Structure 1
Amino acid sequence: MTPKFDKIHLKFKLNGIHYNHEELKEIAYSLVKEGDDYEQVIGNFLLDWIDDKDHVLVNTSGSTGLPKTIMLKKQAMVNSAIMTGDFFGLQPGDKALHCLPSQYIAGKMMLVRAMILGLELDLVSPSTIPAYDNLKHYDFCAMIPLQLKNSLQRLAHIKTLIVGGASVSKVLKSKLYNVKAKVFETYGMTETVSHIAVRQLNRNSDNAHFQVLRDIQISTDDRSCLIIDAKKLSDEKIITNDIVEMISKTEFDIIGRFDNMINSGGVKLFPELIEAKLQGKIETRFFITSEADKDLGQKVVLVLESDSNMLEPSVFENLKKFEVPKSVYHISKFIQTETGKLQRQKTLEAILGTS
């Protein structure tokens, strides 16, 4: 029987203390009134969760457009929590670490999973270097890639860790092979109530594909973009701008974003695929994008997070003719969302002085 959103699991604990519905309201008020900034956000969400409404308002991160506020049904969030719990085998009484910002769906869902599944949840500040007790055993944790990168030597006592909010670089993936924790990359968005698919990044998973959670159906449109049919999460099918390769009815690989695609002289190019070829050849962070060209329509450009745009020609030796950047730009710091997602267009506009 699926639990309802107005029920709090008997084994749920927050920072080691059990709270029922009324007690949770009191601690939420306390967090809002006396807590640190991140605790105030948590307190406000808890108050929204236990009120009489059947929905909550959630902010999107704005990684691919303007940030916006959308309405999510609380029962859909419960259903998502159960899907995740089933996939990872989470049990009442399991211990979880919450180190994400709770303004966004990923952080909110850590709280919902704990309340619905009966997890014992520890809260720490959502910094880029999470300050948690790395000698305490945790069954479950979620991080963004930068937090994972900064915690590589401190994961021995985490059983399962999911990472999302931004793409996981090839370099970071290479450092996960000997990590004891099982690390999974997630795929999802606010509209899908957090992730709807995962793939393991370590433990002999070089060829792992994204695997959908139960009750999720996937297909593609005429652009080869992913369509998500998740009746327990959304009343309507969700049409994404993510170009995918369907491996099976339940597995897929991401090729790139449709809105990132470059048409250079009639050749369709995907920045993400070019970036993969350049991984390990450029020491600084970088990304591929495009700008207008009178002859080609669009031309490929490379943007470096650096104080210089100087690169050896050998960096591009594995690229095809149309993939080779026509210009190399640099900027001291990329523009990102609060969740660490790269904002390609805004970064390029900052360099070119356009808007």
Structure 2
Amino acid sequence: MTKAGDGDYSLDEIARAWLIKMRGEDAAALRGEFDAWLNGSAENREAYRRAEQRMAALAILKTSERHGSAHAEARRGRIKKWLPWGAAATALALLIVAIGAGGAPLPGQRGGSSAAFAAEPLETRRGEIRTFRLADGSSATLDTDSRLDVAVGTDARRVRLVRGRVRLSVAGQDVPLRIDAGRGTASANDAEIDLSLDEAGTVTAMLRRGAAEVRTDAVADQVTPLREGAALAYRSDGTLAPKAGPPPALPAHWPDGWAEYRSIRLDRLVAEANRYAAVPIMIEDSAIAAREVSGRFQISKTEPFAERIATLLDLRVERRADALYLRRR
């Protein structure tokens, strides 16, 4: 049985409010108040545990339309249906606004709209490419070893690219989708946009369709519009990087596991392919690594890719336990 909590709210309502607040932007500021409440009694801790279990039970059900374990089911027409993205977080956020409007504020409630990141992020494993359907009609295709956090609120749409690469097909809504990545933010509505975040913290964004704009921390008061078919990159400090043509990090057909280049150094192409590889491809000869190649390559299939490169460049593939080595014949 749910016990009464502070004021007009039950203990479970207060626990659900804390669950949302500690996944929102004010979490750090509210940490002390939350810890004091959580450690105040065993009943508080148990109510918070119930709220977490409820959130987990309503978490996003993941499925894939391209790669991964669900691919075979998709071909047979048995793709699992999704719960709305962040359905649990949405329900709890609405609860906070609804019951907070008629009485004393809930813990940590400071007015304004409520938004919080969903309990479970969208993630892919190495070698996996997966498309996630969002309840607002948008979709997010995550490349290998990528993570996207999804936040929901009463008057906002927001995602955060934590690592890897994403293609967002953004449905048109009254409010744009905010896309946080590195030290900047993109905004798009009724558009398709690719973003990548590399290990150095550099973000590359390319607009495929529609309209979008980018704002970085280094120049927060300056908005840079993206042109369709054009790319923009900014560094880990938020400063814009010089334009240098189409970015190798965002080939047009990467959601299908393919990459097409007019000209690219072999070592850079192999580095792209190794993002998918369980056993990496290695080039020890600097002269081979510096060779330029062009064409369309299925970089998500490591061994066939290595064999094709070997055939094109008159090399051989030496298979060892630690790697596939490209060597001279």
Q: Shorter-chain TM-score: which interval?
A: 0.3 to 0.5
Larger radius of gyration: 2
Of structures 1 and 2, the one scoring higher in RCO (CA 8 A, sep 6+) is 1
TM-score of the aligned structures, taking structure 1 as reference length = 0.31
* TM-score, L = length of structure 2: 0.33
